[in-house]
Structure 1
Amino acid sequence: MASITTPQTVVALGSIEAGLVEPILAPHQQMIHNPTDEDLARADAAIVRAAYAVDRELLDRMPALKVIARTGVGTDLVDVAEANRRGIPVVITPGSNTASVAEGVFSQLLALVKKLSTLTSLVREGRWEERSAVAVGDLEGFTLGIIGYGRIGRRVARIAEAFDLNVLAFDPFADVPAAIRCQTVDELMSRSDFVTLHVPLTPENHNLINAERLALMPAGALLVNCSRGGLVDLDAAQDALASGQLAGLGLDVYDPEPPAHHPVFDHENVVLTPHLMGFTRQGMVHTVRDAAKGVVDVLAGRAPAAVAAP
């Protein structure tokens, strides 16, 4: 354990608000923004934003590094296995933006069901007489399928109760209540009017939602993805929207980010947000502070609240 008199350097990889981190650091710990190569070489810790890649080459440039703290839980841009091989724990901050993402799911779902974009255009463009041609829907009594029943998935399920939605969930790794548990993704897709995704992006999950699975859903279903862009085959989603199999699509995440323009973006029943549903002001305050606490814990020889597994 380092002496409390030994200066320690914490570098920000990506934009980190100093006012959130510095009050949490110990007196002998200094936060450096926009670090130089020299700063990286002596860094004891790094707080890393979501879009910043930490690979073997960057780790080679940080030989003194003792901990990486990733804001959020997604580590697809961090070489966790290599960090662990070097004895560097990768701290994550689960739960810090749980409410933000879950609320974002329902903002997109409601926008799609209530046709907010279409109705806004009618009023803005003076086409009031066309309003009766817009089929506005409801959530009550329909079924929401949740793929991934971790913190965010469970929060989505809680909110769904307030809308009198029926809930189904699939997650082979989580404790899903028997009353709502589906045994497979295919079962969930076939029984759900609306589907929301809350799983990490892994090689096995790439294009998890493809043409075959979209075809299993009831005609006129809705899909929302506030998890990882690579989970959805956008070409398949575009075809499903064109055929009416899919009535609406909500996307907050893309692969890559920022995305190249995809024709599905132009569909009138698509809601697009630029990966901000989990990055509300309150959510970012929580996640940055939790990351800073994780850094302080590791540098003090304490176990952090949560660490990513390789």
Structure 2
Amino acid sequence: MSKICFFDTKPYDRTYFDSYKEQFGFEIDYFEPKLNADTAIMARGYEVVVAFVNDTIDAKTIDILYEEGVRLIAMRCAGYNNIDFKAAYGKIHVVRVPAYSPYAVAEHAMALLLTLNRKIHRAYNRTREHNFSLNGLTGFDLHGKTMGVIGTGKIGRIFIDICKGFGMEVLAYDPYPAKDAGLHYVSVEELCRRSDVISLHCPLTKDTWHLINKDTLQLMKKGTYIINTSRGALINSEDLLHAIKEEQIGGAVLDVYEEETEFFYEDLSGEIIKDDILSGLISMPNVIVTSHQAFLTKEALNNIAEITLQNIKDYAEGAGLPNEICYRCTKLDHCDKNEKNRCF
């Protein structure tokens, strides 16, 4: 096995994967379409598919891939909520990149907050038109404010360190608190009531789906800012839009959106966006939306390419798969892999 097919290819993908493919001894065929049940047939003759978090890897897609000879899906990302693992189990191994650069995502979250708070995006557009007025550009000091962080994995803890550097007080929530981290853990409800800014850094599960909704939004202080650089469906977008229109929420910065698959990573500048909620959020003066770009640093792209290809090499050589996940992994704290350190 030396040939790999790669779905949803972007120019930066080619740049970084091409820089490593000879080192690992692979040939890569790059396909522009996203992976789904309609495009899975393109993987015929390949044993390995490289996919992304916005691909649709449901049971139908998996069945087609398996019939065409695919035995490994290598996710070039950390997220995997788009995969039907139960359908894949026993047929196709699934590996991912669990950590590529937590600094990239944490720093982007703070960059978004600073941009929204200090109205940098508006000031940039004004001065390009020679408008040097300061009216409407007033922000607030982060120093002394309370940041609520939901999710204290690697990214969440790095973001907390950044917040502490600004002199912020930090409240944290996580169903699995980090031991000896010195963090002040509280309930979701208390975090919502006390925080001036809330930042989401948790995975999307059945327990975190729409964690931010009309009920939790009503608990928040009037004027609270919300940051989401994790997964779009952590927030009920319709509820958020309503809370912004009612001025319950002071602003939001979103690098993800729950229905982003058909929009993000694509140039739709000449088209009408038919998603009224996304259009409504983008139209708000106190909302900033970026296109799932928090991971996009040179360091992260290097790590993604190198770890993805190492995952594939491990599979090709019959070695253990330390970055493999299956439906049992998503239900338990650990997965009892077989003697080859594989899920099956």
Could you state the TM-score of these two structures normalised by the residue count of structure 2? 0.79
Task: Give the aligned residue type for 2:119.
Answer: K
Of the three residues 87, 96, 102, the one matched with 1:82 is 87
For 2:24, what is the secondary structure of its paired residue? coil
The match for 1:230 is 233
Alignment of 1:63-212 (within 5 A): 63=66, 64-86=69-91, 88-129=92-133, 131-175=134-178, 177=180, 179-212=182-215
Q: Is the 8 A contact 1:47 1:292 kept in 2?
A: no
1:32 aligns with 2:29: yes
**Match of 1:51, SS?**
coil
Judged with a 3 Å threshold, the aligned counterparts in structure 2 of structure 1 residues 116 and 84 are, in CA distance, closer, same or farther, namely same
Asked which structure has the greater RCO (Cα within 8 Å, sep 6+), the reply is 1
**Amino acid corresponding to residue 33 of structure 1 in structure 2:** Y
The answer for unaligned runs of 5 or more in structure 2 is 33-38, 265-274, 328-344
Matched, 1:19 2:21: no
Query: What amino acid does structure 1 have at the position aligned with 2:27?
Result: Q
Does 2:290 correspond to 1:273? yes
CA spacing shift, 1:174–1:66, aligned 2, 3 Å: farther
CA distance in 1, matches of 2:205, 2:283: 28
Amino acid at match of 1:269: N
Native 8 Å contact 2:235 2:258 kept in 1: no
Deviation at 1:39, TM superposition (A): 6.7
> Which of 217-226 and 168-177 deviates more?
168-177
CA contact (8 A) 2:41 2:64 kept: no
CA-based RMSD? 2.5
Q: Is the 8 A contact 1:198 1:227 kept in 2?
A: yes
TM-score by length of 1: 0.87
Contact 2:40–2:61 under 8 Å retained in 1: no
Describe the shift of the 1:212–1:57 C-alpha distance in structure 2 as closer, same or farther (beyond 3 A).
closer
Paired residue type of 2:257: Y
Does 43-52 or 249-258 show the bigger shift? 43-52
CA-CA distance at 1:171 after TM superposition: 1.0
Q: Aligned to 1:22, what secondary structure does the other structure show?
A: helix
Partner of 1:47: 50
Aligned equivalent of 2:271: none
Output the CA distance in 2 between the equivalents of 1:133 and 1:30: 54
- Offset at residue 233 of structure 1 (A): 1.9
Q: Which amino acid aligns with 1:14?
A: D
**C-alpha displacement at 1:128, in angstroms?**
3.8
In structure 2, C-alpha distance between the alignment counterparts of 1:133 and 1:31, rounded to whole Å = 51
The runs of 5 or more residues in structure 1 that have no matched partner are 1-6
Q: Check the 8 A contact 2:59/2:87 in 1, yes or no.
A: yes
Residue 21 of structure 1: CA displacement? 4.1
Q: Is the 8 A contact 1:20 1:289 kept in 2?
A: no
Aligned pair in 2 of structure 1 residues 13, 128: CA closer, same or farther (>3 Å)? closer
- Give the superposition deviation at 1:184: 2.2
- Compare 96-105 and 170-179 and name the one that shifted more: 170-179
Deviation at 1:211, TM superposition (A): 1.7
Distance 1:176 1:144, change over 3 A: farther
Partner residue of 2:244?
A: 241
Q: Which residue identity does 1:153 align to in structure 2?
A: G
Deviations 1:152-188 (A, max 9, x none): 1111112222212212211112425575343421121
Distance 1:177 1:138 in 2: 30
SS across alignment from 1:201: coil
- In the alignment, the residues of structure 2 paired with residue 174 and residue 89 of structure 1 have an alpha-carbon distance, to the nearest angstrom, of 30
Q: Report how many residues are paired.
A: 300
Partner of 2:304: 287
Partner of 1:203, secondary structure, is: coil
The residue that corresponds to 2:313 in the other structure is 296
User: Which residue number in structure 2 is paired with residue 3 of structure 1?
Assistant: none
Letter in 1 for 2:285: E
* CA offset digits 1:116-167 (Å, max 9, x no partner): 13333443455544x2553221211111111111121111112222212212
SS in 1 for 2:44: helix
